[in-house]
Amino acid sequence: MERDRTAPAHSPAAGRVAKSTAIRSGDISQRQNDPFQLLLLRAATVLHGRARTVEAGRWTLAVLVGAGTVAALAFVEAQAVAAALAAVYAVGGELVATLLQRRLSIKAALVQEQFDTSLFGLEWTADRPPIAVAELALLASRYRGADEQLRDWYFDVSSIPEPMAGVLCQRQTLTWDLELRQDWMWHLTAGIAGYLAAIYVVGLVLGMSVAMFSIWLVAPALPALVALASSILQHRDSISTRHRALWLLDRALNSASAAELGAVSQTVQTAIFSSRCAAPRVPNRFFQGRRAALELGAEIEADALRARWGRP
């Protein structure tokens, strides 16, 4: 399953890799639909679903705490306590939610790493061991979708020889939802900026003191504002990691030899794993609204890559 992709071209190891690559050429598109590969995707999908549930709960609780804070502010004697509790939850609740979501994201990333390293013949370089097969089977058994939704995970690279085929699949991973995440991050940023600007104007118009401004306008929204800021930072880190890996990959595609591509592919896979571990969720409704454009763009790019790198 794992093999040395970084050995010099003149070494015996490189010869073995070249021979193995020749045997495996063009079959990534078939291997990704093997039973064990589909089991990995089912397990990863279940874990991603759990992470989305945590994300939804995080935002729901932030809104409920904010609404409860507003209700409590109607009682003068409870105003200071309500504001303090909102601040405590904003920090403590966000910390717990972030840790839980990251734990699930890392686990899902490990499963996807098993899928990719097995499919592309890469070494396991993650800082955690692979998920045990027994646990994978248990997770996969809880998948309620159809396998047809998981088949052909990567676009058809049957006309492209390895290691180029694997590298182009990695490129698809890096570019798939990059613009979506950037778009969502700017929506979150605009939301924070808009709210802060609005309450500043309200505070000026009403002539609020700093204490009243903080209690009435800042405290109720604090849980949501902290969650927004945390999500923005996480998206920014994930986007930055993907951009760096994409730059490295594109530079290698334009100038590297087949042997060098193997080394670059290993480095890029490490970056992909890091990005998956850190990546927060984009709301499903936001994704669905842009899915058609994403899929069309992916199809156009796939056609262009096959035309450039496929066998004549």
| The pLDDT of residue 260 | 83
Give whole-number Cα distances, 281 to 58, 95, 163, 274, 277, in Å: 11, 16, 31, 15, 11
Query: pLDDT, tens digit, for every residue of 78-108?
Result: 777 778 888 888 888 888 888 888 899 999 9
Domain residue extents for the chain: 25-309
Alpha carbon 134 to its chain's center:
25
pLDDT, residue 58, reads 86
Q: Which pTM does this prediction carry?
A: 0.82
Task: Return the beta strands (E) in the chain as ranges.
Answer: none
Nearest to 259 by CA among 17, 3, 23: 17
Span 143-164, mean pLDDT? 91
- CA pseudo-torsion sign 114, 115, 117, 118: positive
CA angle in degrees (0–180, nearest 5) for 119-125-128: 105
Average confidence (pLDDT) over 274-287: 85
pLDDT digits (tens, 9 = 90+) for 162-194: 888 999 999 999 998 888 999 999 999 999 999
